[in-house]
Structure 1
Amino acid sequence: MNTELFLPTAQLSHLVKRFMIIESDLGMVNKILPTTSAVMAFRYRGGVSYTTDATDTSLPTSVITGLRNTTRLVNYASATANLLVIFQEGGAAALVREPIHELFGLNVALDSLFPPQLIRDVEEQLAEAKSNRQRVSVVEKFLIRRMTGITTDALVTNAIRNIRRTNGAIRIKELLTDLPISRDPFEKRFRRMVGTSPKQFAEIVRFRHIINRYSPGTSLTDTAYAAGYFDQAHFINDFKSFTGQSPQQFFKAGRYW
């Protein structure tokens, strides 16, 4: 497997974290963990599928994947290449008219959200491009065309910042303390922009923080307490809900994204 990362232009940096090219000559299986970002994928060679309950489902050539709260196995056939757009939290809402929370746990073909001819044009340009830099440029131009006149929600952006500052260890009541809005309308705005509730978003942030700070030999009990858990059983149950495995099983298994 070969991967290559590209940063977005300044015009897109508030919406996109990075672009990623993944190329697999021999085929592979990626374990994809829950994340706080929606992802667009443009496959310009080969085939990609995902596994659910032992069943493989092929992904469309161009697709957007909403947030999810479970781990997924993604299968790359041999000689496959994919260009991924990793959005900033809330970034995809500036491009898609549908509320982002309606994409939760789903893979939706881009030609059902955007004019089909536009998507076909992008796919043809990606297939004809001579380098990965050219491919990223093709997708950047597509994204810039779709974001015209769209703005982000400063209140939700501030809430995201506070959740990240605490590594997800914050109650929604605390989060609302400094916000000029009541809980129900806040949660509605948050779901529409980010793709899930603020509570679930914070849980995913906390889960990813645990994953990122773990190293072999680390005490899982200490890790749980550092993440704000006061009950080891609660920590293990949450971990299983995200990964389908206990922390010990998960970290022993190795490779994940």
Structure 2
Amino acid sequence: MNYQTFEPQTNLRSLIKCYWALEVPAETNPQKQRIVPDGCMEMIFILGDDIRRYTSENEFLIQPRAIVVGQITEPFVIQPTGYVNCFAVRFYPYGFANFISSPLKELENKETPITELFDEEKAKELEQQIIRATNNEQRIERIEAFLIDKFNEKGTIDQVVKTTIDALISTKGSTQIGTILKEELSKRRQLERKFSKQVGLSPKQLGKVIRLQAALKMLLNENPEKLTQIAYESEYYDQAHFIKDFKDFTGINPKEFLSDEEMRLSSVFYLNE
């Protein structure tokens, strides 16, 4: 498995967390992989063989070749059909709203072809440019030109949303929304509406995802037996609260995560954050 990340090269650095590329040789019996929520939306180009996304235990759809994956609140179960070759843009939680006018809540827990979100002709042209590119540097150049054009059309980041997200990230999801708003609870409903449109999750949901991210990184890098300590350092109420949130977002408990082959890809993503 070859997973690489790349930094944005232009003034899109405030909106794009990174670009990433993934290559995995074809396997005889490829396993399903569960992708864990991370609070970020992604634009993904599938350059290798088809990838299935399971909608139930036995039912699946073939993912389109150029998609935007909205915010996910549960594991996204995928399975390669052969050689995996993907290139993608990972946006900050407040990033993707700057490129489209549709409410991001409408994209939750699914993949949407880019032709449905952008001008169809330009979206198809971008897809072909990404396919024809001979390396990731060229792909970054093409996608940045496309996104800069879209950013100029749409506007700028909502500062209230950005400030709230920055506070959640800096405190690993543990800050109370009332504290961020300096107890001006009358603004909570307005903030909820903005988050639904511009992030695709509520502030509370995003905080839970960010806190899970912090706990996952500790779990991957420290002694997995110290669940109580990880729960405490991640500011969960107790170990039971940590395990409940963990199972809600991953489908399994923390101890199973490290040995579950279906979590191999999510582990690679988190270790390289």
TM-score category (smaller protein)? over 0.9
Q: What do residues 213-250 of structure 1 show as CA deviations (whole Å, max 9, x unaligned)?
A: 12234410111122222233222221111111112222
SS class of match (1:9): coil
1:60 to 64, 83, 97: 64
Aligned residue type for 2:40:
S
SS class of match (1:229): coil
Contact 2:51 2:80 in 1 (8 A): yes
Aligned residue type for 1:96:
I
1:158 aligns with 2:163: yes
Shift of residue 40, structure 1, vs aligned partner = 0.5
**Greater CA drift, 179-188 or 124-133:** 179-188
Please, which runs of 5 or more residues in structure 1 have no aligned partner? none
Aligned residue type for 1:80:
V
Aligned residue type for 2:235:
G
Shift of residue 180, structure 1, vs aligned partner = 9.3
Change (3 A) 1:216 1:51: farther
Instruction: Find the aligned partners of 1:131 and 1:95 in 2 and give their Cα distance.
Output: 25
Could you state the TM-score of these two structures normalised by the residue count of structure 2? 0.87
Within a 5 Å distance, the mapping from 1:38-187 to structure 2 comes to 38-54=41-57, 55-149=59-153, 150-177=155-182, 182-187=187-192
SS class of match (1:67): coil
Change (3 A) 1:46 1:95: same
Q: What do residues 185-207 of structure 1 show as CA deviations (whole Å, max 9, x unaligned)?
A: 11111222111000000000111
Change (3 A) 1:46 1:132: same
Instruction: Find the aligned partners of 1:129 and 1:170 in 2 and give their Cα distance.
Output: 43
SS class of match (2:77): strand
Aligned residue type for 1:123:
E
Instruction: Find the aligned partners of 1:124 and 1:21 in 2 and give their Cα distance.
Output: 17
SS class of match (2:172): coil
Instruction: Find the aligned partners of 2:70 and 2:253 in 1 and give their Cα distance.
Output: 25
CA RMSD of aligned residues (A): 1.9
Q: Which residue of structure 2 lines up, in the alignment, with residue 14 of structure 1? A: 14
Q: Which residue of structure 1 lines up, in the alignment, with residue 247 of structure 2? A: 240
Instruction: Find the aligned partners of 1:227 and 1:20 in 2 and give their Cα distance.
Output: 27
Aligned identity (percent) is 28
1:199 aligns with 2:214: no
Aligned residue type for 1:193:
Q
Could you state the TM-score of these two structures normalised by the residue count of structure 1? 0.92
Shift of residue 88, structure 1, vs aligned partner = 1.3
Structure 1 or 2: more helix by fraction: 2
Instruction: Find the aligned partners of 1:194 and 1:230 in 2 and give their Cα distance.
Output: 26
Shift of residue 130, structure 1, vs aligned partner = 1.8
Q: Which residue of structure 2 lines up, in the alignment, with residue 220 of structure 1? A: 227
Shift of residue 79, structure 1, vs aligned partner = 2.8
Aligned residue type for 1:48:
I
Instruction: Find the aligned partners of 2:82 and 2:75 in 1 and give their Cα distance.
Output: 23
Shift of residue 162, structure 1, vs aligned partner = 1.1
Change (3 A) 1:249 1:3: closer
Q: What do residues 103-159 of structure 1 show as CA deviations (whole Å, max 9, x unaligned)?
A: 111211111111221121112222222222112211121111111141001111111
Shift of residue 60, structure 1, vs aligned partner = 0.9
SS class of match (2:11): coil
Contact 2:227 2:239 in 1 (8 A): no
The aligned length equals: 257
2:194 to 189, 214, 223: 189
